[in-house]
Structure 1
Amino acid sequence: MPADNASRHEGSPWAPEAITRAIEPVISDAGLIVEDVTVKGGNTPTLQILVDLPSGTDAVDLDVLAEVSQQVGEVLDNGLLASSGAYELEVSSPGASRPLTQPRHFQRNVGRVIRVVSEDEDFTGTVLEADDEGIVIEPIKPAPKKGMKDKVLDPVRREYADIRRAKVDIEATAAARLAAVKDAGDAAEESMEDPAQSGLTGEEA
């Protein structure tokens, strides 16, 4: 969480650490974790809470998110923020545009295309594996001309210590998935057209 956000409310019920402690049991019971807590000031403060799945690549279920939001509101209204007046509560999951700063973030994005910036490199690639120390990534070399296919290079390993910035490339991820679907469809059509690949003999065909 931003340092200025935490220090500004230190010692008050609005302190992000205090709010995190108050809501963690509810979040944990839903199989989620607290990713970040931010308080934005104003006549009516806005409390923004980011929650996420601890592992896997699935998205947070919207129904679960709605239920958690209601439960978090009840916990705070009846406890920590009972005497704090009106406020707006926003409970959401991190979007695909969030910076990847923790090993868990990379693990949550296995199979997606990310942009990696290090001291010596700036490239995009598909995350194949991610552990607590680094990632195995399949770099993608952009096509030299429009209409040509990008070139997929051999997988390489990069340690988190060497990565300065990383972020999901939303457009590239979507394009890669569309290409995979198209390739699968083309392969299926070829299999249907070729009796040998479909397991049929010449007489059966």
Structure 2
Amino acid sequence: MSTNPTDRLRELLEPLASEFGFDLEEIKVTRAGSRRQLQIDVDADGGVDLDAIAEFSREVGQALDDSDVMGADPYVLEVGSPGAERSLTLPRHWRRAEGRLVKAHLVDGGEIVARLLEVGEDDVLVEVQPVKGRGKPKERRLTFAEIDRARVQVEFNRKDEELLDAAEDIPDDENILDDDISDDDIPDGEGADEDE
């Protein structure tokens, strides 16, 4: 067994994460005042469910209590999933980010912002966004060897096309209109046209 605390934690927790169908993404131990903080990030295809995270967190706590990996000093355990702007370091990270906007720093010193269209075994297909909105997006295939580092970008102004499509599919007779509400539906004292 390794003497590095993070490696020892990984050896202890990786099988437990696998039982839950999770990938153990990151383990970080930091000092928070007089206590230590142990942060564990897990992920899975299709994302992770909060109830499953809570159950996994209980199991992690029990496994840590049953071992001496964290020693005798107090610590705070925090279990979660990678944030919205996660780093893309493994092929599975790229696969889980399909459809998202990514910023990639290339080995040759270049940088691109692109929509991730498809992930292969050794490469990705992206749609490079035009500079300042001029021109049309262009598809480009990048091998993982060409990419130094990459990160998912948060998009605040992107419309959720699935929600818009779903709203367009609602039949008109299912929409609530003012004409559908009669005076009998309004409790006493709440009507706007009551006689005083």
Considering the TM-score relative to the shorter chain, is it more than 0.5? yes
Partner residue of 2:123 out of 119, 126, 134:
134
Structure 2 alignment gaps of length 5 or more: 173-196
C-alpha separation in 2, matches of 1:83 and 1:124: 44
- TM-score, normalised by the number of residues in structure 1: 0.70
Report the more deviating stretch, 61-70 or 83-92: 83-92
Q: Runs of 4+ in structure 1 displaced over 6 angstroms?
A: 185-189
Distance 1:86 1:155, change over 3 A: same
User: Radius of gyration: which is bigger?
Assistant: 2
Segment drifting more, 27-36 vs 111-120: 111-120
Q: Determine the structure 1 residue equivalent to 2:66.
A: 78
Aligned residues: 168
Q: Give TM-score scaled by structure 2 length.
A: 0.73
Q: Is the 8 A contact 1:127 1:137 kept in 2?
A: yes
Unaligned segments of structure 1, at least 5 residues = 1-9, 145-149, 193-205
1:32 and 2:27 equivalent? no
CA distance, structure 2, for counterparts of residue 182 and residue 85 of structure 1: 49
Partners of 1:23 and 1:169 lie apart in 2 by 29
SS at match of 2:103: strand
Shift of 1:107: 0.9
1:101 partner SS: coil
Residue 140 of structure 1 deviates from its aligned partner by: 1.6
- Deviation of 1:139 after TM superposition, in Å, equals 1.4
**1:82/1:46 CA distance change after superposition, 3 Å:** closer
Q: Could you tell me how far apart the structure 2 residues matched to 1:62 and 1:182 are? A: 23
AA in 1 matched with 2:124:
I
- RMSD value, Cα: 2.8
Structure with greater proportional helix content: 1
Q: 2: distance between equivalents of 1:115 and 1:82?
A: 36
Residue 141 (structure 2) aligns with: 157
Q: CA deviation at 1:128?
A: 1.1
Change beyond 3 A, Cα 1:165–1:23: closer
Q: Secondary structure at the match of 1:88?
A: strand
Q: Percent identity?
A: 30
